[in-house]
Structure 1
């Protein structure tokens, strides 16, 4: 099928697993683009979506769509599977979606932090290694064939208001790339699907550069916000907090270089962009306020793990990560006591 056969693209079987803020945004935008979307959900999300559909308020308006929703067993093999859990929930989700993954299914993990597939398709001393912070027992590597994965990063600041309902008011941007650094026809088809859905897409042959750029944005804001409660505007507008984030950014630069990657954006531009995001709560701050686990393993621990492999010290990042973990534990203890 030609990438330009856009009517043909709408015949694709597309599934979104994980109806959090990003998953709901993707499912709604795919529906806006005219695609039939299946959503894998459970518990309160399953009931809410089954009863009222999915709802998204974005820059274009207020969208509500009825979609097929259920467990993976309710759906056939999929052409494209978007995995949109919190990173710590990925192992459980991976087991839950096995039945919809066929031999030719394109698997698109839309997750924060360092992905489990980071060393797949790489040469050199670290080839094939798994990142223990996000895949301790290597189960993700065993469940998903690396040849089926397309790497992605998102710049989507969305908030789940309630089950089945999300809001986002900033531009929707995604970068996609093959993890073996090739430009393939299936990559171009995926880009066309996303573009037809109103998402600004960049194709790259260096997806790990995009991963590190997103990791840096998360690393220097998410754990800081969990400790302070600051929005992005407050984090990067306050002199003290901005300096903490700046130190964390410059600590990670040698790690990125050690793995032969580079930032797609100048460090100062990253810092300036944070202020322009407005009073947006980071995903980690949203999770803290909801009493949910924080994505510290993928966003912080995995970076520290990769730094340690090269003997690189990151004291400020280590300290902020520890404070965020302490804040999370206290939050759980308070909830348990109530």
Structure 2
């Protein structure tokens, strides 16, 4: 049976791991910590979705040495936490272990398998000093885009709010055996995970909203629907999106919708407070560099000016430091 470890099994990781465990087609384990881990050990993982409640009991631990090498690791920590867990993850990694990086923003492996003159370019804003690239190796990386929203309602209890898509892809765009195996496992478990030949387009579609709405929400404390419908904030967000679009298109990305359609997508989510705003208010580290700082860095690489992105980045960074 295929061995799958969800490392950092919080809200999204717990949801994905819970769905896999419910289906029973993979040998699933979860790495978590604190009260959440203790509750899952004592009572199992409770997953609430669509008015139904399920309890599953996969292997849960805070010590990866208990688990041994895996076929797949689904890594659901936020981007800024990746470098700090490499040593802890090493017992999970065998010769052929693939790692699915389920983070928001531009991934550290972005220029692996892309071809052309930028092949192998390292991104300092999301991988300072190339630590992740050098330790994991980009050949292990699989990418995905997480469109779900979930929360830890109480320790050991995951509540799924919306979204069922988590498309996957190889950095090279190939339909390899490993990405197809993981796609089948996840899709069978109710997590719609088609294999995308150009996952970077979908990465940018989600990023396009996150790089603008998230930092502007930190500055204004507005919800998604507030920011998308107020004329002033909508104007700021559109300007940020157009600058980012120019950067993405210079890298060969195709955008399936325009800026207004993307803002309307965010508005439909409703009175949702972004994860970045929640992180700032809770005193936690944020994804500012993975969502916005990295796009400014990409702008420098392709020689496209991003003054609005830089302005909002600087203001948001000050707000975070003085929260």
Band of TM-score, shorter chain: over 0.9
Q: 1:318 aligns with which of 296, 307, 310?
A: 310
- How far does residue 66 in structure 1 lie from its aligned partner after superposition? 2.1
Summarize deviations over 1:207-247 as a string: whole Å, max 9, x none.
11122112112112111122222222222122222222111
Q: Which residue of 1 aligns with 2:22?
A: 32
Find 1:147's aligned residue among 134, 139, 155: 139
Q: State the match for 2:293 in structure 1.
A: 301
Q: Does 1:21 align with 2:11?
A: yes
TM-score w.r.t. the length of structure 2 is 0.93
The reply to whether residue 121 of structure 1 matches residue 118 of structure 2 is no
CA distance in 2, matches of 1:103, 1:60: 41
Query: 1:12 matched to which residue of 2?
Result: 2
Provide the residue aligned with 2:70 in structure 1: 78
> Following the alignment from structure 1 to structure 2, what is the Cα–Cα distance between the partners of residues 282 and 90?
21
Unaligned stretches of 5+ residues in structure 2: none
Task: Give the secondary-structure state (helix, strand or coil) at the position aligned to 1:318.
Answer: helix
Task: Verify: 1:43 aligned to 2:34, yes or no.
Answer: yes
d(CA) in 2 for partners of 1:22, 1:220: 22
Report the TM-score, using the length of structure 1 for normalisation.
0.89
C-alpha distance in 2 between matches for 1:173 and 1:60: 19
Structure 1 325/68 Cα, relative in aligned 2: closer, same or farther at 3 Å? same
Indicate if the aligned counterparts of 2:148 and 2:161 stay in contact, CA closer than 8 A: no
Aligned to 2:228: 236
Matched, 1:169 2:161: yes
Equivalent residues in 2 for 1:1-338 (5 A)?
A: 11-34=1-24, 35-70=26-61, 71-331=63-323
Contact 1:85-1:93 at 8 Å conserved across structures: no
Cα deviation, residue 296, structure 1:
0.8
Q: For 2:259 and 2:23, how far apart are their aligned partners in 1?
A: 34
Q: What's the CA shift string for 1:78-115, capped at 9, x where partnerless?
A: 11110010111010122211110111112100001111
Instruction: Give the secondary-structure state (helix, strand or coil) at the position aligned to 2:166.
Output: strand
How large is the Cα RMSD of the aligned pairs?
1.7
CA displacement 1:48-78 (0-9 Å, x = unmatched)? 3223332332225223322211121110211
Q: How many residues align?
A: 321
Counterpart secondary structure, 2:125: coil
Structure 1 stretches lacking a partner, 5+ long: 1-10, 332-338
Structure 2: distance between partners of 1:223 and 1:328: 10
The offset of 1:45, in angstroms, is: 3.3
